[in-house]
Amino acid sequence: MMQNSGVVEVHEDLRVRRTRKMLVAAFMELTVEKGFAAVTVRDITDRAMVNRSTFYRHFLDKYDLLDQYMTDVYGSASDEKLAEEKVARKKDFAPPGLTSLLKHIQEFPDFYRVMLGAQGDPKFIDRFRKNSERRLRALLEYVGDGDPNGSPIELRLSYASCAGIGVILWWLENNQPCTVEQLAVWLSQLTGTSVGLAIKPTQSAQS
Amino acid sequence: MMQNSGVVEVHEDLRVRRTRKMLVAAFMELTVEKGFAAVTVRDITDRAMVNRSTFYRHFLDKYDLLDQYMTDVYGSASDEKLAEEKVARKKDFAPPGLTSLLKHIQEFPDFYRVMLGAQGDPKFIDRFRKNSERRLRALLEYVGDGDPNGSPIELRLSYASCAGIGVILWWLENNQPCTVEQLAVWLSQLTGTSVGLAIKPTQSAQS
Amino acid sequence: MMQNSGVVEVHEDLRVRRTRKMLVAAFMELTVEKGFAAVTVRDITDRAMVNRSTFYRHFLDKYDLLDQYMTDVYGSASDEKLAEEKVARKKDFAPPGLTSLLKHIQEFPDFYRVMLGAQGDPKFIDRFRKNSERRLRALLEYVGDGDPNGSPIELRLSYASCAGIGVILWWLENNQPCTVEQLAVWLSQLTGTSVGLAIKPTQSAQS
Amino acid sequence: MMQNSGVVEVHEDLRVRRTRKMLVAAFMELTVEKGFAAVTVRDITDRAMVNRSTFYRHFLDKYDLLDQYMTDVYGSASDEKLAEEKVARKKDFAPPGLTSLLKHIQEFPDFYRVMLGAQGDPKFIDRFRKNSERRLRALLEYVGDGDPNGSPIELRLSYASCAGIGVILWWLENNQPCTVEQLAVWLSQLTGTSVGLAIKPTQSAQS
DNA sequence: ACGTAAGCGAGACGGTACGTCGCGTCTTACC
DNA sequence: GGTAAGACGCGACGTACCGTCTCGCTTACGT
């Protein structure tokens, strides 16, 4: 029953990698089409042209599939990423971690649009939010707190990390009306103001 | 099939009202206990001590129950409320609509904590967010746009309305560490800054 | 989970009786066609034109179906039957219990042919055998033991009750080449000799 | 698909013989423990410490394993045995074939107890029965038919061969309460009487 | 003795059946 | 005659075995 969730096998069976890839792809397509809740394991395996029982050899259920995918994508990676984040953020640029996150989202815009919206999954949203909050907290710790209006720092963190989702949703629901870089700048400016980052961005990049 | 969903019967049968009340109460309790997704119709009717088929005489399914409940609570009401909102908001107070919303949440803190979090329902979150966005847009239209950093107004609206959820979640997940009024002030200050409301709050109320 | 196995409901729902009847009939047909082991629940429900899950509302599995059927047929009945058996058996007639058993078998000859043969079920055979042994033991107790060759009475009981199955199989596999009455006489003569019944049959009834 | 079932290889690979032996042993143990039906291929290979796919290199399935084992034990052998049988049976001794069969059973009493009982396999029982019937028919052909009560000879054969199983079951289920020789004498006496063998046993051997 | 063909371990995969659960509809027995 | 009780159709779930199929390794055998 070892599902080796998240464990990175260096050299996995070719068949295994192919099967997992097809299952993940089918899952994402179907999620976009009918919303996360409506996707069944049978749907996924039919689309992936894989036997249903094979699905269960790789994943416990669709939630586990999503989990493993998320862990693959920005799982424990963020730990090292956060370190370079602190170094990279000089003064008025958007943090590179944010930009790369947005770039990843840009690869699967429909999937994120659905998953973060009304057809999505609350656990996914929560995970996304907590992730943002973690990154933000690390950033804040580095640059300091300007304490804009006396509200608790935790409140402001929760405010800003949730707000980030709103920005991404706006971007996705309006067919990405600006570049990733532009969006990153706007978002980090807004975030900076809300959270009270001590370092103020001095200029805004134009799209 | 006529489920008279959402239609407000002026004088309903006493038994009907009692049954609905018990079903709604059971639903809310169970949602708090096991999360929205895990609640089944059988759970609800068992808890409410009502036959399962009776449930279907009142609601299409648990989503419909939630819907009807939401509509009852702040359904079409907001239209009139919004009007008085515009009048009420003088200069530096939190908008009364916000305060009354928070007060309502305060009556069912566990329910909202669950429903807006990882065990909640994406449709509920979405509805909540859209509602906030609508109220905010109406407010903005009234007080004008200070255009803080050149980002599109729609982006800032999405940012701020989502952020509001973050603040409420913080409040609920930390056992309401401040009064509703204090929270309303902090939230409206943050919102004002993010969205770029022309009228700035000048002071913060102390809890 | 209450399957009320064997409990006789006086007035069961019409639908329930119809469904159970159809399931049992389908089960018996299929057993004849493909042997007991090869019959699946799906087979049964398809044939009975009933949804598969409905099967599980009535029976735990096909073994339970068989069990309930057996209990219905000659379940606890034998207890009272055995009493009249002792009275009825005068001198040289086959015991009426045997005749009625054979008559029941004659109603479903194919079913018994299969179930007692190579395509049958060992538990069924065992149950059948134990039943015969019980009847025989009761009979023996009444008429006394002639002790033919010094072998233990239990050995002879096991011998004779198993032998009865052989006779029935012969009868069924050869398309019932004689009447039930004739068969009963032959079988009870053979049994009497084997077991050592004190009362000897004096003549054989002709078909 | 060539499984060379039943074909006797003169010089088989050492590994092959070892593997088959372990599989058969594991199968018999497990059959005793959980009954034939409940034994799975995985059970067998786990117990035999052999890979599951190796099982399928030797046997089609567990039925085939049983079949091959049965054929090994008293497969076509009986043909020659039957010849000497006719010679050996003088007057009042149990036929030597019967005794040697019982001796074989005595080597694996638990296995036969299970396989012939409620946890056994109907095909096995049938095969056993048919084998007995064949032996009995051959015997009868040699010694003649005393025609005891007018019942068809085939009926009496079926009666007696089935009865033999009853005797063996009695013996096994009661922990072999007498010697093989004693049992053989009793059984052949009973059989003789039932079937109507012309030669009567004149004395009974004492255990 | 030693190279080679085989037997074997490991395990992914397509299948099929299982028994359970929850849904929403619809019938029936009973008050 | 109207309603609660619950039977039913439907379909997804996760599990368990089955039998097939690679793919390397190792091991007994035959020259």
CA atoms within 13 A on the CB side of C79: 3
D96 plus D188 within the same structural domain: yes
Q: Which amino acid is at A182?
A: Q
Does any strand F atom come closer than 7 Å to the Cβ of D103? Answer: no
* Partners of D145 in the β-ladder: D197
pLDDT for C1 beyond 50: no
Cβ pair D155:C186 closer than 8 A = yes
Q: What is the pLDDT of residue B75?
A: 58
The DSSP secondary-structure symbol of A201 reads P
Q: What pLDDT was estimated at residue B72? A: 80
* Local structure of residue C176 (DSSP, 8 states): -
Please count the residues of chain C: 207
Q: How far apart are CA D192 and CA A111, in angstroms?
A: 83
Say if residue C156 is in the same domain as residue C85.
yes
**Confidence (pLDDT) at C176:** 95
CB-count exposure of residue C137 (10 Å: 0-12, 13-18, 19+):
middle
> Which residue is nearest nucleotide F11, judged by alpha carbon to C1' distance?
C53
Check residues 21 to 60 of chain B and report those whose beta carbon is under 7 Å from nucleic acid strand E: 40-42, 52-53, 56, 60
Is residue B163 within 8 angstroms of chain A, CB to CB?
Answer: yes
Do C186 and D120 lie within an 8 Å CB cutoff? no
For the stretch D152-195, pLDDT in tens is 999 999 999 999 999 999 999 999 999 999 999 999 999 988 88
Beta-carbon separation of A186 and B151 below 8 A = yes
Alpha carbon of B81 to those of A28, A141, B189, C149: distances in Å? Answer: 41, 41, 21, 105
* Distances from the Cα of B77 to the Cα of B81, B97, B138, B177, D129, angstroms: 6, 11, 15, 29, 84
Nearest CA in chain C to D152: C186
Which residues of chain B (39-78) touch nucleic strand F at CB < 7 A?
51-54
CATH of the domain at A42: 1.10.10.60
The tokens describing C171, both together, are 């009868």
Smallest Cα–Cα separation from D132: which of D176, D173, D167, D93? D167
Tell whether D44 is covered by a domain: yes
Chain D neighbors of C174, CB-CB under 8 A: 154
Of the residues C34, C69, C104, the one at which a domain ends: C69
What per-residue confidence (pLDDT) applies to B203? 43
Q: Are residues C62 and C97 in the same domain?
A: no
What average pLDDT does range C103-123 have in this prediction?
Answer: 96
Alpha carbon distance B115, B125 (integer Å):
7
Burial of B69-108, coded b for 16+ CB within 10 Å and e otherwise, reads bbeeebeeebeebbeebeeebeebbbbebbbebbeebeeb
Considering all nucleic acid strands, name the nucleotide whose C1' atom is nearest to the C-alpha of residue D39: F17
Residues B95, B42 share a domain: no
Q: Which of the two residues, D96 and D100, has the higher pLDDT score?
A: D100
For strand F, the positions having any atom within 7 A of a protein Cβ are: 4-22, 27-30
Subunits close to A (at least 3 CB pairs below 8 A): B
- Predicted local confidence at residue A112, as pLDDT: 97
Of all residues in chain C, what percent carry a pLDDT higher than 70?
77
Q: What share of chain D in percent tops pLDDT 70?
A: 77
- Please name the residues in contact with B89: beta carbons below 8 A apart, sequence gap of 6 or more: B95, B96, B139, B142, B143
In total, how many domains does chain B have?
2
Closest approach of C18 to chain D, Cα-based (Å): 31
Identify the domain boundary among B19, B43, B69.
B69
Chain B residues close to A170, C-beta within 8 Å: 154-155, 157-159
Q: Three-state DSSP class for D120?
A: coil
Rounded to 5°, the CA angle D83-D86-D88 comes to 105
Q: How many residues does chain B have?
A: 207
- Give the pLDDT of residue C76: 53
- Find which nucleotide's C1' atom is closest to D42's CA: F17
Would you say residue B204 lies in a domain? no
CA distances from B83 to B88, B130, C25 (A): 9, 18, 71
Put simply, whether A112 touches B (Cβ < 8 Å) is no
Around Cβ A92, how many Cβ atoms within 10 Å? 16
Let me know whether B149 and B166 are in one domain. Answer: yes
Nearby residues of D89 by Cβ (< 8 Å), 6 or more positions away: D95, D96, D139, D142, D143
Residues B141, B147: Cα–Cα separation, whole Å? 13
Q: Average pLDDT, stretch D109-136? A: 95
- Do A51 and A97 lie in a common domain? no
Give which of C92, C151, C180 to mutate to test D binding, by max D Cβ within 10 Å.
Answer: C151
pLDDT at D35 over 50: yes
State the Cα–Cα distance between residues C47 and D50, nearest whole angstrom: 41
Report whether pLDDT(C91) > 60. no
In a domain, D206, yes or no: no
Token pair listed for C102: 């054979």
Residues 6+ apart with CB under 8 A from C119: C31, C34, C35, C36, C37, C38, D122, D123
Examine residue B201 and state whether it is found in any structural domain, yes or no: no
Q: How far in angstroms lies nucleotide F2's C1' from the CA of residue B42? A: 24
DSSP code of A175? T
Q: Do D72 and D54 touch, CB atoms closer than 8 A?
A: no
How far apart are alpha carbons C139 and C195 in whole angstroms?
A: 11
Would you place residue C204 in the very low, low, confident or very high pLDDT band (cuts 50, 70, 90)?
Answer: very low
Tell which residue, C88, C153, C194, C133, has the closest CA to residue D149: C194
Give the highest mean pLDDT range of B35-39, D74-78, D201-205.
B35-39
What is the number of alpha carbons within 13 Å of residue D54 lying toward its C-beta?
17
- 3-state SS, chain B, equals CCCCCCCCCCCCCHHHHHHHHHHHHHHHHHHHHHCCCCCCHHHHHHHHCCCHHHHHHHCCCHHHHHHHHHHHHHCCHHHHHHHHHHHHCCCCCCCHHHHHHHHHHHHCHHHHHHHHCCCCCHHHHHHHHHHHHHHHHHHHHHHCECCCCCCCHHHHHHHHHHHHHHHHHHHHHCCCCCCHHHHHHHHHHHHHHHHCECCCCCCCCCC
Residue in chain D nearest C183 by alpha carbon: D151
Is there a domain that residue B202 lies in? no
**Residue D93 covered by a domain:** yes
Whether residue C81 is found in the same domain as residue C164: yes
Segments in chain A below pLDDT 70: 1-11, 74-93, 144-149, 197-207
* pLDDT tens string D45-97: 999 999 999 999 999 999 999 999 988 876 554 555 555 555 554 445 677 88
Alpha-helix residue ranges (DSSP H) falling in chain C: 14-34, 41-48, 52-58, 62-74, 77-88, 96-107, 109-116, 122-143, 153-173, 180-195
Residue–nucleotide distance: D14 CA to E5 C1' (Å): 15
Same domain, B139 and B52: no
C60 and C93 share a domain? no
Smallest Cα–Cα separation from B151: which of C177, A184, C88, A155?
A184
- Would an 8 Å CB–CB cutoff place A117 in contact with chain B? yes
**Residue C77, beta-bridge partner list:** none
D21 pLDDT more than 80 = yes
Spell out a b/e string for A43-80, using b for 16 or more CB atoms within 10 Å of the CB, else e.
bbbebbebeeebbeebbeebeebbbbbbeeebeeebee
Tokens 């209450």 -> residue: C2
Contacts of D36 in chain C (CB under 8 A): 122
Q: Is the pLDDT of residue B10 over 90?
A: no
Closest among A142, A137, A130, A132 to A89, alpha carbons compared: A142
List of chain B residues whose C-beta atoms are within 8 Å of the C-beta of residue A177? 152
pLDDT in tens, C22-59: 999 999 999 999 999 999 999 999 999 999 999 999 99
Which residues in C lie closer than 8 A to residue D162 (C-beta atoms)?
A: 162-167, 169
First to last CA, chain B: 51
**Which of A22, A46, A69 lies at the terminal end of a domain, its last residue?**
A69
Mutation site, D39, D151, D157, interface C, largest C CB count within 10 A: D151
- Give the integer Cα–Cα distance in Å for C135 and B204: 95
Residues C103 and C109 sit within 8 Å (Cβ to Cβ):
no
Tokens describing residue A73: 């994508």
Mean pLDDT computed over every residue of chain D: 83
Please check the confidence at residue C156 and state whether its pLDDT lies above 50. Answer: yes
Element (H, E) at A165: helix A153-173
Q: Is the CB of D51 under 7 A from strand F?
A: no
CA at C184, C1' at E3: how many angstroms apart?
73
Q: Is residue C201 part of a domain?
A: no
Whichever domain contains B87, its CATH number is 1.10.357.10
Chain B CA closest to residue A165: B162
User: For position C190, what pLDDT does the model report?
Assistant: 92
**Closest residue to C151, CB basis, from D129, D148, D190:** D190
Contact C170 D154 (CB under 8 A): yes
Element (H, E) at A183: helix A180-195
D69: Cα separation from own chain's centroid: 11
Burial code of A114-130, b = ≥16 C-beta within 10 A, e = fewer?
bbbbebbbbbbbbebbe
Residue D58, nucleotide of least CA–C1' distance: E7
Report CA torsion sign: B102, B107, B110, B115: negative
In eight-state DSSP terms, residue A5 is T
Full residue range of the structural domain in which residue D30 is found: 2-69
Whether B33 and B99 map to the same domain: the answer is no
Across chain A, how many H-helices and E-strands are there?
A: 10, 0
Q: Provide the pLDDT for residue A201.
A: 44
Asked if the model's pLDDT at residue C205 lies above 70, the reply is: no
Angle (CA) B171 B173 B174, round 5° = 65
**Quick one: pLDDT band at residue B129, thresholds 50, 70, 90?**
very high
Please check whether residue B53 lies inside any domain of the structure. Answer: yes
For nucleotide F8, the protein residue with its alpha carbon nearest to C1' is: C54
D9 touches strand F (CB under 7 A): no
Average pLDDT value for chain B: 81
Q: Which two tokens stand for residue A91?
A: 């003064």
Give B137-169 pLDDT, tens digit per residue: 888 877 766 665 678 999 999 999 999 999 999
CA distance B112 to B157: 22
- Bridge partners, residue B145, by sequence: B197
CA distance B119 to B169: 13
The verdict on A47 and A81 lying in the same domain is no
Distance of CA D164 to the CA centre of its chain: 11
- D32 and D58 together in one domain: yes
pLDDT category at B19 given cuts 50, 70, 90 is confident
Residue A16 to chain B, least CA–CA distance (Å): 31
Rounded Cα distance between D156 and D160, Å, is 6
Whether the CA torsion C186, C187, C190, C196 is positive or negative: it is negative
CB atoms within 10 A of CB B37: 15
Helix or strand holding residue D23 (H, E): helix D14-34
